[in-house]
Amino acid sequence: MNKRQKPEEIFPEIIEDYQKIYGDDLISILLYGSGAGNDYHPGKSDLNFLIILSEAAIDHLDRAIKTVSKWEKKKVATPLIMTKPYINSSLDSYPLEFLNMKQNYILVYGEDVLKNISFEAHHLRLQCEREIKGKLLLLREGFLKTGGGEKKIKELIKASITAFISIFNGILYLNNVVIPSNRREIIQSVAKEIPVDQEIFIKCLNIKEKKKKFSSSETKDIFKAYLIEVRKLWESVDKMEIKNKEV
């Protein structure tokens, strides 16, 4: 399975497996995230699927346990399983998550449940602010737990930078800026809208993707600067003036 070059290679088998389990109660299968875009790395990246079931079938998740286990062994993440009413009632609470799904997805089977969803701007801005503040607290706490160790600091950066890329998508969307498909271009685009140092976020992305080596002292300096830029990001989003309309 590590020789798989394109996610599309497994689509027929995924469809067949879930059709056998749920039949007509299977409404949709969608691939979202890096596997649906330019950041997919064969053999390394997980594949993330969104599966939509009927209201009757959602109470029978136990039927899918063996199938989920089978695909986890093949670098396919545990799927998100929802219903259409759940999505429609969650757009005010989790607009950022659904925005990121909608930004980067492939319809694998059935109804395209993401195509026509929309978001109220003030809900999206509020979640962006909430996510930034939460991540800032976790980064500060996490740093204290590292003991100053280079490896642990790098792990903290790797675990957090992807979340900021998702937040950046929300910020660009709110500013009516076309969201690029490349992570570096996303960072560069945000830096044009908000006064943050794009180089710090690029360095953090380089650490995650192992595209450049940094010494222990350089890693600590990057993390300290990272905290400063995240605080600046929060302050900017806090001051954003968004009209109360759907975007």
In 10 A of CB 7, how many CB atoms? 21
- Copy the structure tokens of residue 242: 């968004």
Question: H or E element: which one contains 183?
Answer: helix 183-193
Please name the residues in contact with 213: beta carbons below 8 A apart, sequence gap of 6 or more: none
Domain 121-238, architecture per CATH:
Up-down Bundle (1.20)
Residue 30 forms beta bridges with which residues? Answer: 50, 107
Residue boundaries of the structural domains of the chain: 7-110, 121-238
Helix (H) or strand (E) holding 48: strand 48-53
N- to C-terminal Cα separation, the chain: 40
Q: What letter would DSSP give residue 179?
A: P
Question: pTM for this one?
Answer: 0.85
Domains 7-110 and 121-238 share a fold: no
Q: What is the pLDDT of residues 185-226, one digit of tens each?
A: 999 999 999 999 999 999 999 999 988 999 999 999 999 999
Q: Which residues contact 228 (CB under 8 A, 6 or more apart)?
A: none
- Is 91:119 a contact under the CB 8 Å cutoff? yes
The per-residue pLDDT for 3 is 54
CATH number of 7-110: 3.30.460.10
52-62 tens-digit pLDDT = 999 999 999 99
Q: What is the CA radius of gyration of the chain?
A: 19
What would the pLDDT profile of 125-160 be if each residue is shown by its tens digit? 999 999 999 999 999 999 999 999 999 999 999 999
What is the C-alpha separation between 90 and 192, in angstroms, rounded?
Answer: 31
Structure tokens at 148: 């100053």
Distance between CA 37 and CA 76 in Å, rounded? 16
129 or 46: which carries more pLDDT confidence?
129
